[in-house]
């Protein structure tokens, strides 16, 4: 009997555009910014803004091991640096109706991200976040200001060409095969 070894196939996928993305603004708590070409996080005119993003993960195969995941954003502003906290959204929301006053609940802290005063592509580590989405359900991610008095803006899916992306690298296990031969 010959048994071949387990093999792992590594795959990287880029999921874009998000199904939903929006920002919410305490300075206009009943306004919806889901169709804006911008996402924003930080403080503007003394009021907080938060950024929400969700991707559809249904195209991922079952029984995978996420080895790396990153959120890719395109920062359009060059304001003073800010540090944000990253949270998993724990209840459903819709970009067409989300506001500061009806914002979704969050759970878990997935680290902090500092956005410098330099515009351009930014990568945010998200391996633990994506694993939790696959285990506990995916309602997206929320970025909240932690440190700083400024804000940063990013292209949303309504912007031309630089929408938020989720880049996932995973392995799939190819089961061993057995070839049985011999006397009968």
55-72 pLDDT per residue, tens: 999 999 988 999 999 999
Only one residue has tokens 């640096």, namely 81
pTM comes to 0.90
Provide the mean pLDDT of the chain. 92
Tokens standing for 153?
Answer: 């803006």
Contact 141, 89 (CB under 8 A): yes
Only one residue has tokens 């680290």, namely 111
134-154: per-residue pLDDT in tens?
Answer: 999 999 999 999 999 999 999
158-184: per-residue pLDDT in tens?
Answer: 997 799 999 999 998 666 666 666 565
Domains and CATH numbers, the chain: 2-179 (2.60.120)
Tokens standing for 105?
Answer: 């609940």
């Amino acid at each position: 009997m010959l048994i071949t070894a387990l093999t792992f196939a590594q795959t990287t996928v880029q999921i874009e555009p998000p199904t939903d993305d929006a920002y919410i603004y305490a300075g206009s708590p009943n306004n919806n910014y889901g169709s804006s070409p911008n996402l924003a996080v930080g403080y503007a005119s003394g009021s907080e803004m938060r950024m929400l993003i969700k991707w559809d993960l249904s195209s991922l195969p079952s029984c995978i091991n996420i080895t790396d995941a990153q959120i890719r954003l395109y920062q359009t502003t060059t304001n003073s640096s800010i540090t944000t906290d990253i949270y998993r959204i724990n209840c459903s929301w819709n970009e067409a109706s989300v506001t500061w006053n009806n914002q979704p609940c969050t759970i878990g802290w997935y680290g902090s991200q500092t956005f410098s005063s330099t515009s351009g592509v930014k990568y945010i580590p998200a391996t633990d976040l994506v694993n939790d989405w696959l285990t506990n359900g995916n309602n997206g991610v929320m970025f909240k200001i932690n440190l700083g008095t400024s804000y940063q803006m990013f292209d949303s899916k309504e912007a031309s060409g630089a929408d938020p992306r989720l880049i996932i690298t995973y392995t799939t296990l190819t089961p061993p095969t057995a070839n049985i031969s011999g006397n009968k």
